[in-house]
Homo-oligomer: A and B are copies of this chain.
Amino acid sequence: MPIKLNSTDADFEARFAEMLSAKREDSADVGDTVSAIIADVRARGDEALCELTAKFDGMELSPEGLRFSPEEIAEQVAKVSTEDRAALQLAAERIRAYHARQIPDDASWTDPDGATLGWRWTAVGAAGLYVPGGQAAYPSSVLMNAIPARVAGVERLVITVPTPRGVVNPLVLLAAQLSGVDEVYRIGGAQAIAALAYGTNTIRPVDKITGPGNAYVAAAKRQVFGKVGIDMIAGPSEVLIIAEGEQNPDWLALDLLAQAEHDADAQSILITTDEMLAHAVAGAVDRILPTLPRAEIAGASWRDYGTIIVVRDLDEAAALSNRIAPEHLELCVDDPEALALKCRDAGAIFLGAHTPEAVGDYVSGPNHVLPTARSARFSSGLSVLDFLKRTTMAKLSPGALAAIGPAAVRLAGAEGLQAHGASVQARLSVLNERGAG
């Protein structure tokens, strides 16, 4: 039974707070195992990689066999149907077009004191994308990670994707090809993250690692953070739908179930001003759920974390939304733009009844890698900016140094940093002599 709340209930605040703080993830403590794997790959390189791949993926590989050859990729990609290829191409084009608009501008200006200031964006040199293998290999995730990197101008783009017992997903390789990936290695787990961060004879290290993975991959990313950059560690996914009365209950039920089918830890929440709609959606979920191939997963998620909340008005809905800070927020209301302005914290907003969250997972264009577990309060989805870094620039004319240097000397003195002050004062003294000369 999903949680059903009404904001007029006496115990509403307590029950909403309880729902909000429920821990959905059982994070296995695999830190020590992962540390050992990373140390092994650092010490023994390809040899360790091959052994670990034999052990965990049931694949006997030589160092030369770690990388997919162009022929192997072509052979796999040829298996993709024309329809699947066309769909993936459409997705790639739309994702590319959206992300191309995210490229930020450099800036340079000279202020009245004569200081030329600004910044410059440059791409990360090399990026590595982790792609889970087997059943959880999602070609859409390849596009969502690789295309922003390519748009940013990353020179070298590497994918690792395990092929447990030899299982290769042709769509993943096609997605890599469409995204312009340079190298694809058939490794996974913490050993793949270690190889990307520290390099081996076969695999050169990268500067940034992104992409989803299991508990071992997540722990490995945490451990190599600092040596390389990483994206956010994703938690279980969630959707919040805010709906008014005149909505199609089946559509909303399917949107809730689309979230629930990801993972038993996923969470689907409906907030509505209309108690009749709440009942109708709950009924539709019960009717549709058994028909789904992934009914077991979706059923567990809906039973344990599914929530329907009836509220007085949309202002109340927006206030609750901001406390939830959902990864995905669907606004199925008459004026979604107005409501969106009140919903401050969300990873992605889907406006109106014809924008189901699932189109955002594949083809609308924005990234589907989004902040989970209330982190939309302080972080953003994956973007071109994740593959760029900004260098600040400053050039002072002698006049500018004369104008603002004395304040630096003063503050350096106040902070007890004499050499800081002296490095400025030495220049000011020469300028003063010249001025006096």
Contact = CB atoms under 8 A, between A and B. Distances in A.
A164 interface: no
Contacts of A378: 124, 207-208, 228-229, 389
Interface in A321-367: 336-337, 340, 344-367
Given A396-B359, A400-B354, A404-B90, A416 B233 contact: no
Contacts of A208: 378
A379 B293 CA distance: 43
A171 B414 contact: yes
Interface string A381-414: 1010100011111111110110011111011101
A88 B413 CA distance: 12
A111 B97 CA distance: 10
A380 to B, nearest CB: 4
A373 interface: yes
A52 interface: no
Interface stretch (A34-42, A67-75, A176-184, A250-258): A250-258
A400 B352 CA distance: 12
Given A226-B233, A394-B350, A404-B90, A419 B139 contact: no
Contacts of A361: 408, 412, 420
Contacts of A405: 359, 363
B404 A94 contact: yes
Contacts of A111: 97, 365
Central interface residue in A293, A347, A353, A365, by most chain B CB within 10 Å: A365
A101 interface: yes
A336 B262 CA distance: 53
What is the interface residue range for chain A against chain B? 35 or more
B364 A394 contact: yes
A296 B292 CA distance: 71
Given A83-B410, A226-B375, A407-B87, A122 B344 contact: yes
A6 B337 CA distance: 63
Interface stretch (A272-280, A304-312, A421-429): A421-429
A340 B393 CA distance: 9
A93 B138 CA distance: 49
Contacts of A292: 418-419, 422
A98 interface: yes
B366 A414 contact: no
A178 to B, nearest CB: 12
Contacts of A90: 404, 407
Contacts of A389: 345, 371, 376-380
Contact of A258 (B124, B390, B420): B420
A192 interface: no
A91 B407 contact: yes
A303 interface: no
A290 interface: no
Top 4 nearest A-B pairs (CB, nearest first) are A229-B378, A366-B392, A254-B423, A351-B395
6 contacts: A251-B423, A340-B393, A358-B421, A359-B404, A376-B389, A380-B390
Given A101-B107, A229-B377, A354-B401, 20 more contacts: A87-B407, A87-B414, A88-B411, A91-B411, A116-B351, A117-B366, A119-B366, A140-B411, A171-B414, A261-B420, A292-B418, A349-B392, A351-B393, A356-B423, A360-B394, A363-B411, A366-B393, A376-B389, A376-B391, A381-B392
